[in-house]
Amino acid sequence: MVDFLDELEACVPALRRYARALTRNIDHADDLVQDCLVRAISRRGLFRPRGPLRPWLFAILTNLHRNDRRSARRQGAPLSLDAVPDPAVPAPQPGHMALAELARAIETLPLDQKEALLLVTLEGLAYAEAAAILDIPLGTLMSRLGRARAALRGLTGAPAEPHLRTVK
């Protein structure tokens, strides 16, 4: 029990980071993390897979976030990207403008691409782990990842790579 909670605690910083990147809102992100932890605690006996906790927690948080978005859409509360304060992004200082631009670009990605991108690049998960968390085949994961990266490069004004051969 104590071991489980200690293990859980060790995962909280990564969960906060992932939630922050998904929502770009401190309070909403921490709400998600709290819900995720409560769910993990109450279900540990039932659903906890053997092996490391981290992928399981990411899967719970991903699903909670999806549910939140669905119910927010049902309640007709569209989030205006420009209106939402962006506390996760450092104050615009010289050299940080590119980061703010990147944050906005990530925000425009479809959710499934954003999830794939964040799990692999931000959280450093292996493809197999990320695919399992999102419950998709490996090929689908790589396809989403590739499209997300290409979209970001277009949106952040990075020079197009004419010699990048895309398959499919």
Partner 1 sequence: MSMADRDTIMAYLDGELDAEARRVVEADKAAMAEIAALQRQADAIRALYDPAAAEPLPARLSPHRLALLHNRRHREGLLRAAMVVAVLGIGVAAGWLLRPVPAPASLYEHLIADAVSAHTIYTAENRHAVEVPGSEGEHLSAWLSSKLATALPMPDLSKEGFAFLGGRLLPAPALSGGRAAQLMYEDARGERLTLYLTPAAGVDGPEFELVRLGGDNALYWADARITCTIVGPQPAERLQALAGAIFPQLSPVPASAPAYREL
Binding site for partner 1 (CB under 8 A): 1, 5-6, 8-9, 12-14, 16-17, 20-21, 29-30, 33-34, 37-38, 41-42, 88-90, 98-99, 102-103, 106, 117-118, 120-122, 126-127, 142, 145-146, 149, 152-153, 156, 158, 161, 163-167
In whole angstroms, the minimum distance from the beta carbon of 36 to partner 1 comes to 10
57: CB partners within 8 A, 6+ apart: 8, 11, 15, 36, 40
User: Given the complex with partner 1, which of 118 and 134 has the nearer CB atom?
Assistant: 118
Helix 2-23 and helix 53-74, axial crossing angle in degrees, nearest 10 = 40
Q: In the complex with partner 1, which residue's Cβ is closer, 79 or 103? A: 103
For the CB of residue 3, give the shortest distance to partner 1 in the complex, in Å. 11
Residue 23: closest CA among 103, 142, 140 = 103
User: How far apart are the C-alpha atoms of 48 and 72, rounded to whole Å?
Assistant: 28
Least separation, in Å, of the C-beta of 166 and partner 1?
Answer: 5
Using a CB cutoff of 8 Å and minimum separation of 24, what contacts does 101-104 make? Answer: 101/155, 101/156, 101/157, 102/152, 102/156, 103/24, 104/155
Minimum distance from CB of 152 to partner 1 (Å)? 6
16 or 66: CB nearest partner 1: 16
